[in-house]
């Protein structure tokens, strides 16, 4: 055995200390982070802003070049609502609710949004009835304070209705369907 061979066996080379390819956990983290970011409709820049990081940090994590610091890793798990273990070990598709027809969170959300829309429509009808009633002669309160209070109440209800309708339009705009 030559001198070179003896030295190389007793002292590991630098390349022997580095893994040749990323571990499964590293690969899952990079893939899961990218999947979750895209499924939430976020750019790398937007996600970085939400987490208090820089865009190049997110790009490096997604490429598997750099591992996040523990604090940043926890921030990502909390932001996406997944456990840190799942972020490392599970397949990305298993981290989100399934998009099939089985009742679940998406179904429950649609049920609640439909109830919200129906309640807003009912409130709209009551509001219009009050407006009509108080616009009739001899039906308005005669005291000035009552009239002012009534006008303030009507303005608040009108603003609430407008906000409700804008909210429903914003969430249905991307779906291309009406809640009612």
Selection from 45, 126, 146, 29 nearest residue 82 by Cα: 29
Query: pLDDT tens, 122-170?
Result: 777 787 887 787 777 665 555 566 777 778 888 888 888 888 777 777 7
pTM: 0.42
Query: pLDDT tens, 66-88?
Result: 889 888 888 888 888 888 887 88
Q: Are 154 and 131 in contact (CB under 8 A)?
A: yes
Query: Is 16-95 a CATH 1.10.260.40 domain?
Result: yes
Q: Which residues of 150-177 are buried (b: 16+ CB within 10 A; e: fewer)?
A: eeeeeeebeeebeebeeebeeeeeeeee
Where do the structural domains in the chain lie, given as residue ranges? Answer: 16-95, 105-173
- Report the distance separating Cα 44 and Cα 62, nearest Å: 9
């Amino acid at each position: 055995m030559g001198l070179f061979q003896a030295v190389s066996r007793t002292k590991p080379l630098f390349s022997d200390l580095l893994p040749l390819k990323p571990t499964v956990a590293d690969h899952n983290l990079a893939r899961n982070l990218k999947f979750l970011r895209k499924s939430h409709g976020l750019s790398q820049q937007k996600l970085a802003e939400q987490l208090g990081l820089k865009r190049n940090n997110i790009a490096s994590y997604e490429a598997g070049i750099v591992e996040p610091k523990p604090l940043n890793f926890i921030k990502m798990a909390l932001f996406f609502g997944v456990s840190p273990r799942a972020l490392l070990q599970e397949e990305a598709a298993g981290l989100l609710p399934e998009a099939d027809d089985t009742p679940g969170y998406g179904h429950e959300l649609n049920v609640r949004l439909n109830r919200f829309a129906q309640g807003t429509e009912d409130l709209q009808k009551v509001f219009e009835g009050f407006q009509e009633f108080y616009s009739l002669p001899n039906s308005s309160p005669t005291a000035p304070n009552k009239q002012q209070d009534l006008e303030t109440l009507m303005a608040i209800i009108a603003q609430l209705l407008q906000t409700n309708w804008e909210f429903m339009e914003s969430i249905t705009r991307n779906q291309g369907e009406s809640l009612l």
